[in-house]
Structure formats: structure tokens, C-alpha cells
């Protein structure tokens, strides 16, 4: 039954022009009007910006990092022949909902915090273009309770309930960078979402503001090694989840 459902889903994607055995993912995406327009408007300048930072537009990997308190989303890139990422651009998160802390149930208005991946490319989004993350991840499923919700997106426009809006102008850039990274062979595009920068200053801020909230502070302490590893090395940590839902870093 499961195999039948997957087959029907693939046939439907083909019928809507999203999947074809004879066409690359990038080509299929560029057939969609909004993606095509984004390439026309943004791609040439993005390539020039990459070259200026010694990043190859012909083959690169993408990493996205967001900070809720700072209201900023960072895009990091690395050429395929490089071992470390370079900060490429920063984008303002133009609206937010909820408070600092993870998302634990549907309808709480929270933006998730933790270690995720891009799971969805939506060229038909109600918010121009959107990239969906794989919330709830393994940790969320263990720690969260009841209906955890879903459909958490990095998207256009400037309204949100639990998502990360960048405006239509800037989602065009992030979206086509993600398309190009996937086209280059990147099978997993990581997205790390933090309450703030989890350095010494950031942790002190959280400890002062959330004194006595042990569960929340312990959650952020669990995120910190992943943040610190990337800060120190500009390489992605290997992230796993233990039976209690805690993140484990190798």
C-alpha cells in the first residue's frame, strides 16, 4: 500500500511539472514562473558576488543559519573543492512570532530551534517562494507532545506564524541558491536555528533573562556545542539524537 501511494505521488508530481525522469531538478524548477523570474532577476549578480568571494558558482554547498533574537538569517557557501564554509550573505528576518525557545506543539506560534534540513521546495507558495524544513525532527518528536504541527518555511512576504519570512526580494536569492546547491549534488541542505548566538555573551543573556527556567536553559546548553563547533571550524557538526531527544555531536 505504501509503495502504491509513493507511486501515485510521483505521477502527480510529474503531471504538475515538478518531477520528470528526463529533466534535472533545476530545469524542472526553472519551468515554474516565479523561479524562472527569480533566476532572471537575481542569478547573474549572485554569481558575481560568489566569484568575488572565491566561491565557485558552478558547484557549491549551502548552509543556512538563523538567529531569532538577532532577527537575521545567514547564508554560508563553500565550493565543492573547499573544506570550510564562507559567510556569503546576511538577510534580515522581517517579522517573527512567538518567543525564544523551541516549538513543542501545533498552534504555539513558535519558530522551531534546533538542527534541521531543507525538505520542501515550493514554487507555488502563498508567500511567493518557500523552503520547508523537516520540522518536527527526531528530537522534536521525542520531546514534544501531542500534535507537533508542521509546514515550517523560510519564505517570502513579511508575515508569519512560526516561519521565517525574508520578503519576496530576498527569498528569491535564497531559493535559487538552494536549487543550485541541490543541482550540484548536495543531498542535504542543513538549517540551524538558534535563539541567539550561543557564545559566552549570548548564553549570559539567556541565563539572565530566563533565570530559573531550567528546562529551557538546558535545551539551549544542548544546542551550544553545535553552534560552537561551526563557529570555530566553519565546518558542519555531525548531529544525532539520543533516546531522550538530546542532540549528540560527533
**C-alpha grid cell, residue 133:** 524544513
Return the C-alpha cell found at 183.
Answer: 543541482
62 CB burial (10 A radius; 0-12, 13-18, 19+): buried
List CB contacts of 65: < 8 A, sequence separation 6 or more: 73, 74, 76, 191, 192, 193, 194, 230
CB 119 within 8 Å of CB 132 = yes
Active-site choice (94, 128, 155, 234): 155
163 is catalytic: yes
Task: From the candidates 163, 183, 192, 234, give the one annotated as an active-site residue.
Answer: 163
Q: What's phi and psi for 210, nearest 5 deg?
A: -120, 35
155 is catalytic: yes
Q: Is the CB of residue 137 less than 8 Å from the CB of residue 143?
A: no
Q: In sequence order, what are the residues at sequence separation of 6 or more whose Cβ sits closer than 8 angstroms to the Cβ of residue 22?
A: none
| Of residues 135, 138, 181, 180, the one with CA closest to residue 154 | 135
**Which residues participate in catalysis according to the annotation?**
155, 163
Amino acid at each position: 500500500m505504501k509503495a502504491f501511494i509513493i507511486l501515485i505521488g510521483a505521477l502527480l508530481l510529474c503531471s504538475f511539472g515538478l518531477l520528470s525522469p528526463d529533466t534535472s531538478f533545476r530545469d524542472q524548477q526553472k519551468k515554474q514562473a516565479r523561479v524562472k523570474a527569480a533566476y532572471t532577476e537575481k542569478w547573474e549578480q549572485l554569481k558575481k558576488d560568489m566569484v568575488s568571494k572565491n566561491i565557485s558558482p558552478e558547484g557549491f554547498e549551502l548552509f543556512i543559519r538563523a538567529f531569532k533574537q538577532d532577527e537575521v538569517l545567514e547564508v554560508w557557501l563553500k565550493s565543492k573543492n573547499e573544506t570550510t564554509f564562507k559567510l556569503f550573505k546576511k538577510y534580515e528576518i522581517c517579522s517573527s512570532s512567538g518567543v525564544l525557545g523551541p516549538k513543542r506543539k501545533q498552534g504555539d506560534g513558535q519558530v522551531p530551534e534546533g538542527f534541521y534540513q531543507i525538505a520542501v521546495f515550493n514554487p507555488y507558495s502563498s508567500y511567493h517562494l518557500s523552503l520547508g524544513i523537516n520540522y518536527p525532527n527526531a528530537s522534536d518528536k521525542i520531546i514534544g507532545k501531542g500534535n507537533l504541527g508542521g509546514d515550517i518555511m523560510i519564505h517570502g512576504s513579511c508575515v508569519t506564524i512560526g516561519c521565517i519570512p525574508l520578503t519576496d526580494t530576498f527569498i528569491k536569492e535564497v531559493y535559487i541558491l538552494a536549487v543550485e546547491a541541490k543541482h550540484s549534488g548536495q543531498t542535504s541542505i542543513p538549517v540551524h536555528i538558534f535563539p541567539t548566538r550561543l557564545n559566552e555573551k549570548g548564553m549570559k543573556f539567556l541565563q539572565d533573562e530566563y533565570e530559573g527556567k531550567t528546562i529551557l536553559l538546558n535545551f539551549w546548553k544542548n544546542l551550544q556545542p553545535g553552534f560552537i563547533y561551526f563557529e570555530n571550524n566553519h565546518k558542519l557538526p555531525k548531529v544525532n539524537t539520543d533516546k531522550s531527544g538530546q542532540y549528540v555531536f560527533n
